[in-house]
Structure 1
Amino acid sequence: MSVEYYLLSRKTYDHMIAHLEAILELQNTLDEHPDSKFGNPLDVTYYHEEIQRFIQLKDMCSRRIMELCEHDYIDDEIDVGPETSQKITYCQICEHSK
């Protein structure tokens, strides 16, 4: 797989994830409003099923990003304080950490 394809895929899936997160956040805002009520119990079931589909789609996008990458893990140290550092291992392509 070419790096160009990976980067395009990563950008596209990241964009999709951001939109799905925005939809979920907007729905939570409506749900938390004091005037938010469902008139029919079936509406609640349908609504929760749809939200679960959004969450599953978001998770699928994240997994797809991981599957597309030909990981190249490296060990590094990061500063966590003025005198303190921590060892980490991450992919220098997709930035996934172990």
Structure 2
Amino acid sequence: MPRAALIKQYQALVESDGATLSFNDDAIAEIARVAFKVNETTENIGARRLHTIMSRLLDEYMFDLPDIVKSKKIRITKKKVTETFKNYIEDQDLSRYIL
């Protein structure tokens, strides 16, 4: 994984709050698929789309991390990615403004 990979950046950010963040391989593949799909149906901004996707995916954890994650472990699965972006991908008008 490249040194400046977004996943590593988010893992470091979560670690600064005393927790760990991990991704299943199929979750990473699904993140890439979602970014590709949104780029395909809206303005194609390439890999920059990944930042928006990651931010939206981890929103619920990032702002209240110490309070909501008792186990100090966050595991992102394909199911979590799919559930987070299901409505955005299906509604192209919505995805233009949110993603």
Which band: TM-score by shorter chain?
Answer: under 0.3
Higher helix share goes to which structure? 2
Q: Which has the larger radius of gyration?
A: 1
Higher relative contact order (CA 8 A, sep 6+): 2
Higher strand share goes to which structure? 1
